Amino acid sequence: MSMRQDKVKVAVAMSGGVDSAVAALLLKKQGYEVHGFFMRNWNPLSNIPNDCPWQKDYEDVRRVCNHLTIPYSTLNFESEYHKRVLIPFLNEYQNGRTPNPDILCNKEIKFDVFWNNVKALGFHYMATGHYSKLENGALVKPKDADKDQTYFLSALSDRQLENVIFPLADLTKTEVREIAKKAGLPNAGKKDSQGICFIGKLTVRDFLKANLKIAPGEVKAATGELLGKHEGSELYTIGQRHIGVAAGGKTLYVSSKNTKTNTLIMDREENLYTNKLSFEKAAWSIPVPQSFQCQVQTRYRSKSIPAIVSLTNSMELVSGEAELLLPARAITPGQTIAFYKDSKLIGNAIIK
């Protein structure tokens, strides 16, 4: 860096969790001028039922920043979050698809709205507690393979990564916990958050029931046999078990959904695996040919699978098919597929 490190201002997106707290700690130790920011994304006065524990998270941010003797602020993005994350999330479910709101939140809020706001305040960089790594401007898998979060960041553009620091790139979760404990951080023992940020303790099912127009419909076997009824097809995702539905003593799972007839199609576990998928809305961080081999990841925490990717149009390169060299379970429309060359993220798309 051309300027003195103690003059480089870094805005740390702090969630109240131990990862972003340690990120702020490490940056301060490295001599940066660190400022913690808590993003207020959920409006508790909204008429959308929820159980988002943001007050407790904010209190943890306040305690950590006071412990580190760094300034902290709150930025309110309720309007942007509602428009750019929550509404698309609900619309996708209403249309029978299963989106990933964390990927959308990173692309639309944390690395867009948040960065534009702190940049306007004079900050040179932003940092988060993601387990991810940057090498020559490209996202690569971090040291902790089990906590790898590059999948959640796969929709970010090269421009969005230009002024980002990932302080936890070369640390494991165990090491992060130990650093937090030794530093006496007040949230050192806080459990990792689970589930979708704006739902809190509610189940996804209860949240969707409160916010979508749903209607009961038929549950059928892949053979066409009528098996029963469901509350609303939007409440189910591919690979999910339907309680009370079985055939021949075998447990059945949702294999597909027909949104036009509001029908769930059920099948046996062994029939949920496939070697092919189609995708759309692809974005690439490197030039790619019309056909190439790489590794793909079809959901968070799933293992990368070797695949042969074939793009439909040699000019646009935004849609195509992936032939999986190992079968994958419950490929789900609306989910993100991330493409890797070894440990380097090279693109993402939406599964059709």
Q: What is the pLDDT of residues 218-263, one digit of tens each?
A: 999 999 999 999 999 999 999 998 766 666 667 899 999 998 999 9
Same domain, 178 and 44: yes
Mean pLDDT of the chain: 91
Residue 199 lies in a domain: no
14 is in an annotated binding site: yes
13 is in an annotated binding site: yes
Q: Read off the tokens for 303.
A: 């293992």
Same domain, 43 and 141: yes
Same domain, 215 and 257: yes
- Give per-residue pLDDT as tens, 184-225: 999 999 988 765 655 655 678 888 988 899 999 999 999 999
Domain closes at, from 151, 182, 213: 182
Q: Read off the tokens for 166.
A: 């990932």
- Model confidence band, residue 45 (pLDDT cutoffs 50, 70, 90): very low
96 is in an annotated binding site: no
315 is in an annotated binding site: no
Residue 306 has pLDDT above 90, yes or no: yes
Cα–Cα distance measured from residue 233 to residue 311, given in angstroms and rounded to the nearest whole number = 31
16 is in an annotated binding site: yes
Residue 336 lies in a domain: yes
What predicted TM-score, i.e. pTM, was given to this entire model?
0.92
Residue 197 lies in a domain: no
Same domain, 262 and 279: no
Cα–Cα distance measured from residue 191 to residue 212, given in angstroms and rounded to the nearest whole number = 31
* Maximal C-alpha separation, the chain: 71
Q: φ and ψ at 100, to 5 degrees?
A: -115, 100
Residue 121 has pLDDT above 50, yes or no: yes
Residue 194 lies in a domain: no
Catalytic residue among 52, 65, 105, 294: 105
Residue 105 known to be catalytic:
yes
266 is in an annotated binding site: no
Asked if 50 and 42 count as a contact pair (C-beta separation under 8 A), the reply is yes
Catalytic residue among 52, 65, 197, 294: 197
- Alpha-carbon torsion angle 199, 200, 206, 208, nearest 10: 10
According to the model, what pLDDT value does residue 193 have? 75
Same domain, 156 and 14: yes
Same domain, 223 and 326: no
Same domain, 32 and 135: yes
Q: Read off the tokens for 237.
A: 């995702």
Residue 323, classified by CB atoms within 10 Å of its CB into exposed (0-12), middle (13-18) or buried (19+), is: middle
Residue 288 has pLDDT above 50, yes or no: yes
According to the model, what pLDDT value does residue 207 have? 85
Residue 67 has pLDDT above 70, yes or no: yes
- Rounded alpha-carbon distances, angstroms, from residue 234 to 91, 254, 260, 278: 10, 12, 12, 21
- Model confidence band, residue 313 (pLDDT cutoffs 50, 70, 90): confident
SS3 letters for the chain?
CCCCHHHCEEEEECCCCHHHHHHHHHHHHCCCEEEEEEEECCCCCCCCCCECCHHHHHHHHHHHHHHHCCCEEEEECHHHHHHHHHHHHHHHHHCCCCCCHHHHHHHHHHHHHHHHHHHHCCCCEEECCCCCEEECCEEECCCCHHHCCCCCCCCCCCHHHCCEECCCCCCCHHHHHHHHHHCCCCCCCCCCCCCCCCCECCCHHHHHHHHCCCCCEEEEECCCCEEEEECCHHHCCCCCEEEEEEECCEEEEEEEEECCCCEEEEEEHHHHEEEEEEEEEEEECCCCCCEEEEEEECCCCCCCEEEEEEECCCCCCCCEEEEEEEEEECCCCCCEEEEEECCEEEEEEEEC
The CATH number covering residue 324 comes to 2.40.30.10
Domain tally, the chain: 3
Same domain, 287 and 346: yes
Residue 117 has pLDDT above 90, yes or no: yes
According to the model, what pLDDT value does residue 1 have? 47
According to the model, what pLDDT value does residue 241 have? 86
Residue 233 lies in a domain: yes
- Other beta carbons within 10 angstroms of residue 7's beta carbon come to 11
Residue 65 known to be catalytic:
no
Residue 250 lies in a domain: yes
Same domain, 281 and 224: no
Same domain, 13 and 154: yes
Same domain, 329 and 214: no
Picking from 161, 153, 136, 165, the residue whose alpha carbon sits closest to that of residue 8 is 165
According to the model, what pLDDT value does residue 347 have? 97
- Rounded alpha-carbon distances, angstroms, from residue 113 to 41, 50, 80, 120, 178: 11, 23, 8, 11, 32
15 is in an annotated binding site: yes
Asked if 336 and 154 count as a contact pair (C-beta separation under 8 A), the reply is yes
- Give per-residue pLDDT as tens, 130-174: 999 999 999 999 999 999 999 999 999 999 999 999 999 999 999
Strand pairing of 9-13 and 164-165? unpaired
Residue 343 lies in a domain: yes
According to the model, what pLDDT value does residue 247 have? 61
19 is in an annotated binding site: yes
The residue range of the domain holding 342 is 272-351
| % of the chain with per-residue pLDDT over 70 | 91
